[in-house]
Structures are given as C-alpha cells and as structure tokens.
Structure 1
Amino acid sequence: MAWFALILAGMFEIVGVSLINQFNLKRNWYSLAFVVLGFGVSFFLLSFSMKTIPMGTAYAIWTGIGTVGSAIIGIMFYGESNDWKRMLFIAMVLGSVIGLKLVS
C-alpha cells in the first residue's frame, strides 16, 4: 500500500507542477486553489508512504516521478524541447527511480 501511495504522490506532484504553469498563464484564485490542492495531496501521500518506506528512497522516487512526469507533460503540452540529450537524461532519472525500487 505504501508503494501505491508513493506512486500516487508522484503523480499528484506532476499535477501540482503542471498547475503552477497554468497558474502563471492565468492568475486567479481558482488556479491557485488547484495548485495548493495538488501539492497538498502529494505531500499527504508522501508522508503516508514514508511510514514504511525509508525517507531517502521515498523522497528520491517521489521527486523522480515528478521530474520525469513534468518533463514529459512539458514536451507534450507546452512545446518544450524533446531533443535526444534531454530524452537521455530523462531516461537516466527514470532508470535511477526503478533502480531504487529494485534495491529497496
């Protein structure tokens, strides 16, 4: 259950980061409320998962999911670069997250 919560926390981290970009495009209370909600759920789920998963592993996986997911969202929806070097480093982060799961 803790691993599921951690993965879900990472996904809400992606939502929070994406909503920051939306908030920068359209500054209103509605957008800000969704940013706070996205990060709030993410932190809650992260803290829940850290009851069983070691802090260093949980935090690294949480930030890895957020980093890779946000980069992919940026490429898909916000026209960010998708050159091979960027994709290589995204793959390296993803490989590190998988490696941490395998050794934990």
Structure 2
Amino acid sequence: MAWLAIIGAGICEVFGVIGMKGVADHKGWKFYLLMACSFVLSFSLLSYAMTSLSMGTAYAVWTGIGTVGSAVVGMLMFGEKKEWKRMMFISMILVSAIGLKLIS
C-alpha cells in the first residue's frame, strides 16, 4: 500500500502544480482550491507512505513523479519545449525512481 500511496502523492503533486500555474495565470478561486487540496492530499499520502518506506526512497520517488509529471504536463498542456535533451533527462529521473523501487 505504501507504494500506491507514493504514486498517488506524486499524482496529487502534479495537480497541485497545475493549480499553481492556474493561480499564476488566472488567479481564480478554483485554482487556489485545486492547489491547496492537491498539496494537502499529496503531503498526507507521502506521510503515510513514510510509515513503511525509508524517508529517502519515499521522498525521491515522490519528487521524481512530481517532477516528471509536471514537465510532461507543461509540454502537453502549456506549450513548453519538447526537445530531446529534456526528454533524456526526464527519462533519467524515471529510471532512477524505478531503480529505487527495485532496491527497496
């Protein structure tokens, strides 16, 4: 269950960043609500996962999912650059997170 919590926490982190982008661009209350609820749920799930997983592994995987997810969302939804270097480094983050899962 801890690994599912980490994955959920990472996904919530991405929604929180989408809310943050909405706040920066539009400043509507819906974006504030999305950002706040997503981050609260993300931190709660991360905290739960840390009861069974090591802190370093849980935090690294959580930030990896959030980073990769936010970068992909930025490219797909917000028109950020899709260059090969960026894709390569995103892939490296994914491989690192998978490696941490395999050795945990």
Alignment TM-score > 0.5, same fold: yes
* TM-score, with structure 2 as normaliser: 0.97
Q: Within 5 Å, give how 1:7-22 maps onto structure 2.
A: 7-22=7-22
User: 2 CA distance for matches of 1:85 and 1:34?
Assistant: 31
| Pairing 1:96–2:96 present | yes
Q: How large is the RMSD of aligned CA atoms in angstroms?
A: 0.7
**Between Structure 1 and Structure 2, how many residues are aligned?**
104
Partner of residue 40, structure 1: 40
For residue 18 of structure 1, report the CA deviation from its aligned partner.
Answer: 1.1
Residues 18-97 of structure 1: matches in 2 within 5 Å? 18-97=18-97
Query: Partner of 1:27: helix, strand, or coil?
Result: coil
TM-score with structure 1 length normalisation? Answer: 0.97
User: Aligned partner of 1:22: which letter?
Assistant: G
Structure 2: which 5+ residue stretches go unaligned? Answer: none
Runs (4 or more) in structure 1 with deviation over 2 Å come to: none
The alpha carbon displacement at 1:33 in A equals 1.8
Give the fraction of aligned pairs with identical amino acids, expressed as a percent. 50
Distance 2:61 2:35 in 1: 21
